[in-house]
Amino acid sequence: MMFWRSVVGKLWFTILLLVSVVLVILTVLLLQYFERFHTDHAESELMNHATLIVSLLEDGETDDAAFTMSRKISETYSTKALIILDEDEYWYTSHETVDDLPISIFYEDEVLSRVINSNETVVTQGNYTFPVSGEQITEEVMVVGLPVEFATGQRGSLFLYQSLDVVEEASNQTKNIIYLSAGIAIVLTTVFAFFLTTRITAPLRKMRKASLEVAKGNFDTKVPILTNDEIGLLGIAFNRMARALNTNLNALNQEKEQLSRILSSMADGVITLDRDGAVMVTNPPANEFIGAWLFEQGYEVEESGELPEELQNLFELVVKEEREQMGEVDVQGRSWVILMTPLYDQEHVRGAVAVLRDMTEERLHDKLRKDFIANVSHELRTPISMLQGYSEAIVDDIAGSEEEKKELAQIIYDESLRMGRLVNELLDLARMEAGHIQLNIEPLEIEEFSNRIVRKFQGVAKEHDVELVGDIHEINQPVYADQDRVEQILTNLIDNAIRHTPDDGVVTLRLEHFHNGVKLEVEDTGGGIPEDDLPFVFERFYKADKARTRGRSGTGLGLAIVKNIVDAHRGKVSAHSKMGEGTTFSVFLPYGSSQDL
């Protein structure tokens, strides 16, 4: 069945059928023509022979000589001649006796009798019974009858007849030749058809194979061009198509990769939805949003068939109203603003694309800005109020003695210094957070430096009845850092530790090697930091409980400055505390290299 479905089978069958129909029609026509030709030829020859015999009989001087010549002529051309003078006298050229001939046939037959009775020339054929070797045989013969007028003046009739088997034999030979020719033509047609179809189908098979390779994505496949006919032109067109497809596919892949890169690198989440609200395309921020929502709902991450209710409602509103919609949703403590726009397929909405922006940092920055303004206002309000109050006391002569005025002036001076420190620390912190911190990197002997810091704060520690201990391990490698900034780090940490440590407490400065750098720890035995406040100790304006500050209130910016300085040195700072046991601040500084100089 596959053969008949192929181009080879169809072309072969079509050509063979066409040739067969033509050959059948041609054979029928040729058979009819040759059969008529042989009959006409036999009739013409028989008539010519009969005319010759008649002329011999009419011109012959003796009847015996004419009869002998007539017999020779009839035997030469395989015919039989019968000469009838009257009903009692016959001449017959065959070896059979005249008595065996059914002479009555020639008198009784309607056509043949016209020769005898009317002296007409007759040509006919039919089935007649004649004696053959002593037997009566009925066969189809052709008979020519001519009237004869002898030289003696006697009239008679000549009947020359011949069996049509000779004609039939010639016709059969002609048929055999035609059948053989038709068979040879069919065989040659089959061979030609297969040759032709092979020449056609071989390139088509190669094109089919190449098409399958192209369908698999192998666009470098080429069809060999063997001819310059239509198939060759088709092969050229196929190769051009493959090159065009390869070019277009590469362009599409580049565009797809570019779009994928753009989506992947976007800080905003992108979700593309189809008409039914199913997720089609997402990028990492969108996946983070969906994953957080699924986790919040208690679903597995793989079960991402659903969307947050707010997003689903927004999508339904976009499809219904066919215009851009905006919403906001909170997931896992983060605020997301969603902008959803419809996608059109000509005139109808075929989906939507949602852009999700994480506004948590903006919200936090707004809160920090508001808190910053509130904290700065709070920090400045107290010293300004005190400056205003005590200056009014001096102006109004409330302080009568010089000692009281001097005391009020001292308070005003201290508060002005405090305001100055606050403003300077704010400026330093702002420069650090803006990335404008300047570091003077140089090799620092951290062991000797730490001992010096311990000695520096011994006096302050004694004033507060606190023991300052140095646990300094040997460090054989210098640390590349800004000495002034490192001293600022330890100053802030040790000063905080002393202020938050009760009488007879202990503050320890510990130095030891740690991985690829050094670790500085400032440990105190104070009341500790509450667990809820511990994550915020490095934020601006964070302050410990007033009850643990021993009456000395700082600006709340020291630890924020410490963190920025440590980050600038590519180090790390952390805090660990237990209520009632104390607090430990750890600073890790890498050794660095001479390239940092």
For 439-596, CATH number out of 3.30.70.980, 3.40.50.300, 3.30.565.10, 3.40.50.720 equals 3.30.565.10
Give the up-direction half-sphere exposure of residue 515: CA atoms within 13 A in the CB hemisphere.
9
- Is residue 500 within 8 Å of residue 524, measured between CB atoms? yes
Which pLDDT score, from 0 to 100, does residue 101 have? 58
Which pLDDT score, from 0 to 100, does residue 587 have? 93
Domain positions in the chain are 1-216, 219-264, 266-353, 363-431, 439-596
Which pLDDT score, from 0 to 100, does residue 508 have? 94
Q: What is the pLDDT of residues 412-446, one digit of tens each?
A: 777 787 777 667 766 766 666 666 677 788 899 99
Q: What is the pLDDT of residues 362-384, one digit of tens each?
A: 777 777 677 666 666 766 776 77
Give the residue ranges of DSSP H helices in 78-220: 104-108, 113-118, 165-215
Q: What is the pLDDT of residues 63-102, one digit of tens each?
A: 566 666 666 666 665 667 767 776 666 666 654 544 455 6
Collapse the DSSP code of 85 into the 3-class scheme (helix H, G, I; strand E, B; otherwise coil) and give the result.
strand
Task: For residue 74, give the H/E element and its range.
Answer: helix 63-76
Which pLDDT score, from 0 to 100, does residue 518 have? 93
Q: What is the pLDDT of residues 300-352, one digit of tens each?
A: 544 445 677 778 888 888 888 888 888 888 877 778 888 888 888 777 888 88
Tokens in use for 271?
Answer: 């979700």
- For residue 458, pLDDT over 70 is answered with yes
**CATH, domain range 1-216:** 3.30.450.20
What is the mean pLDDT of the segment spanning 174-192? 80
Which pLDDT score, from 0 to 100, does residue 550 have? 40
Distance of CA 291 to the CA centre of its chain: 28
Mean pLDDT over each residue of the chain, to the nearest integer: 77
What is the mean pLDDT of the segment spanning 471-485? 88
* Spatial separation of the C-alpha atoms in residues 178 and 182, rounded to whole Å: 6
Give the residue ranges of DSSP H helices in 480-542: 483-499
Confidence grade of residue 552 (pLDDT, cut at 50, 70, 90): very low
- For residue 165, pLDDT over 90 is answered with no
**CATH, domain range 266-353:** 3.30.450.20
Which pLDDT score, from 0 to 100, does residue 536 have? 74
Task: Give CB contacts under 8 A, 24+ apart, made by 536-545.
Answer: 537/575, 538/562, 538/563, 538/573, 538/575, 540/368, 540/372, 540/375, 540/429, 541/371, 541/372, 541/375, 541/376, 541/379, 544/500
Give the largest Cα separation in the chain, rounded.
207
User: Do 266-353 and 1-216 fall under one CATH topology?
Assistant: yes
Which pLDDT score, from 0 to 100, does residue 548 have? 41
What is the mean pLDDT of the segment spanning 252-261? 82
Give the up-direction half-sphere exposure of residue 303: CA atoms within 13 A in the CB hemisphere.
9
Confidence grade of residue 586 (pLDDT, cut at 50, 70, 90): very high
Of 88-97, 227-236, 254-263, 471-480, least confident by mean pLDDT is 88-97
- For residue 547, pLDDT over 50 is answered with no
Confidence grade of residue 505 (pLDDT, cut at 50, 70, 90): very high
Of 129-133, 183-187, 270-274, least confident by mean pLDDT is 129-133
| Region at 122 (left for phi over 0; alpha for psi -120 to 50; beta for the rest) | beta
* Spatial separation of the C-alpha atoms in residues 207 and 422, rounded to whole Å: 84
What is the mean pLDDT of the segment spanning 486-503? 88
Which pLDDT score, from 0 to 100, does residue 593 have? 61
In sequence order, which residues have a C-beta less than 8 Å from that of residue 110 and are 6 or more positions away?
Answer: none
Q: Give the global pTM.
A: 0.40
Residue with the larger pLDDT of the pair 376 and 534: 534
Sole residue written with tokens 């209520």: 579
Which pLDDT score, from 0 to 100, does residue 597 have? 43
At 208, which amino acid appears?
A: R
Sole residue written with tokens 């009419």: 58
CATH class of 363-431: mainly alpha
* Spatial separation of the C-alpha atoms in residues 294 and 301, rounded to whole Å: 6
Residue with the larger pLDDT of the pair 417 and 251: 251
Radius of gyration over alpha carbons of the chain, in Å? 65
